[in-house]
Amino acid sequence: MPLNPPSTRPRYLTLAYLLLVIYASLHPFSGWRDLGLSPFAFLDGAWPRYWTVFDLTTNVLVYLPLSYLLALTLSGLPGRLSGALAATLLATLVSLSLECLQTWLPSRVPSNLDLACNTLGAVLGAALAVWQGQRFFNHLGAMQARLLAPVPHAELALVMVGLWLLTLLSPEILLFGTGDLRYLIGITPAVPYDAPSFFMIETSIIICNTIAIGLIVRSLLNDNENGNAQALPVLGIFFLLALIVRTLGAAVLVTPGDAFAWLTPGAWLGLLIGCATLLLTLLLPAAPRLAIAALALMAGTVLVNLAPDNPYSAAALSTWRQGHFLSFNGLTRLVASLWPFVLLPYLSLLGRRL
């Protein structure tokens, strides 16, 4: 029996995840050169000189969700296993294409071992989709019907919220600090670093973005007479998950001793004031809440672009794990930089429907 996912959610997730994989594999997209080698030279069968179990595991895990989502997206194909087989083939072709393109990038080394691990991840992801894909999305669809409001393109907004959680994995980005365009256009911070100014700006950034992301999540939840009572535990779990992601990211990608280095006095105060203000704004009707979310998001973005360099960034990057997480840094920074600018048009569209 085909999987028949209940909505277009897998398509949104597949497209978003595929773009992230492409970006991570080809970052930094500069220095392209031709060494006169065939792009398929890495398939010669030689064992790569440098590899780690961590990198191999990462290669498997990165392509598992890609193939899983592709299998769900292609589940309408005739035959019980057609979608899974097509997903495995497509994910493998994506990996092969990206490894070939890395031949022309000086900072990347194509590897037949990477391709083999990516293919293994694709097989496991497709198998998981056949085994549990329908059940998982049935449960997800039921939870969506129970919790989510009937707003336009709610599933796209859920993907955006998921991408926001991804930005927390980068240890050099201020907590909740999205929208920093300076490194993309090559300008320096407008405010020179000193402890008091950094404390105030960090606190303000966290306050603004706590209010913004909290109200954005609230806008996706049902707005009935018990709406806020139902929303509070969801928001609490969401922010707890965000802080867990931040902590685990620092522990795994930097060192376990840096797991809570993000928990500065500014972060403590920003979370405290931001959560208290968020609770007050939940008492407002839906339209004012959405307007406040947009204003807080814009204010937080402006402050991020004025902030001095994060002193934790240099220390974090000096111990940044090698391997694929060299490109992971560029991936999370790109998502963090563009996230508010992609979300603002959606908030504008949503505001017109209220």
51-82 tens-digit pLDDT: 677 778 888 988 998 999 898 888 778 777 88
Q: How far is CA 55 from CA 118, 245, 331, 352, in A?
A: 11, 20, 17, 46
Q: Are 178 and 339 in contact (CB under 8 A)?
A: yes
pLDDT of residue 132: 75
State mean pLDDT over 159-184: 84
Least confident of 35-49, 100-114, 130-144, 311-325: 311-325
pLDDT of residue 138: 65
Residues forming a β-bridge with 148: 221
pLDDT of residue 5: 44
Which of 304, 283, 287 minimizes the C-alpha distance to 348? 287
pLDDT of residue 134: 65
255 φ, ψ (degrees, to nearest 5): -145, 155
pLDDT of residue 303: 92
pLDDT of residue 145: 62
State mean pLDDT over 77-104: 89
Q: Are 167 and 336 in contact (CB under 8 A)?
A: yes
State mean pLDDT over 179-193: 75
pLDDT interval class at 185 (50, 70, 90): confident
Model confidence at 296: pLDDT above 90: yes
State mean pLDDT over 147-160: 72
* Tokens at 39, concatenated: 């792009």
- Name the residue with higher pLDDT: 232 or 329: 232
**Region label for 222, one of left (φ > 0), alpha (ψ between -120 and 50) or beta (otherwise):** beta
Locate the domains of the chain by residue range: 9-147, 154-353
- The residues near 33 (Cβ < 8 Å, ≥ 6 apart) are 104, 106
pLDDT interval class at 209 (50, 70, 90): very high
pLDDT of residue 187: 74
State mean pLDDT over 143-159: 69
Model confidence at 88: pLDDT above 90: yes
State mean pLDDT over 167-189: 81
Residue 41, amino acid:
A
Angle at 326 between CA 49 and CA 256, to 5 degrees: 100
- Name the residue with higher pLDDT: 246 or 349: 246
pLDDT of residue 72: 85
Least confident of 54-63, 273-282, 283-292, 322-331: 322-331
Q: Rounded CA gap, 105 and 65, in Å?
A: 26
- Name the residue with higher pLDDT: 172 or 338: 338
pLDDT interval class at 352 (50, 70, 90): low
pLDDT interval class at 4 (50, 70, 90): very low
Q: Give the mean pLDDT of the chain.
A: 80
State mean pLDDT over 115-120: 92
Q: Above pLDDT 70, what percent of the chain?
A: 76
SS (H, E, C) the chain: CCCCCCCCHHHHHHHHHHHHHHHHHHCCCCCCCCCCCCCCHHHCCCCCCCCCHHHHHHHHHHHHHHHHHHHHHCCCCCCCCHHHHHHHHHHHHHHHHHHHHHHHCCCCCCCHHHHHHHHHHHHHHHHHHHHHHHHHHHHHHHHHHHHECCCCCHHHHHHHHHHHHHHCCCCCCCCCCCCCCHHHHCCCCCCCCCHHHHHHHHHHHHHHHHHHHHHHHHHCECCCCCHHHHHHHHHHHHHHHHHHHHHHHHHHHCCHHHCCCCCCHHHHHHHHHHHHHHHHHCCCCHHHHHHHHHHHHHHHHHHHHHCCCCHHHHHHHHCCCCCCHHHHHHHHHHHHHHHHHHHHHHHHHHHHHC
State mean pLDDT over 16-33: 77
Residues forming a β-bridge with 221: 148
**Region label for 337, one of left (φ > 0), alpha (ψ between -120 and 50) or beta (otherwise):** alpha
- Residue 285 has, within 13 A of its CA and on its CB side, a CA count of 4
Model confidence at 171: pLDDT above 50: yes
pLDDT of residue 271: 96
Q: Which of 34-48, 140-154, 309-323 has the highest mean pLDDT?
A: 34-48
pLDDT of residue 123: 94
Which of 156, 206, 164 minimizes the C-alpha distance to 310? 206
Least confident of 30-34, 150-154, 257-261, 282-286: 150-154
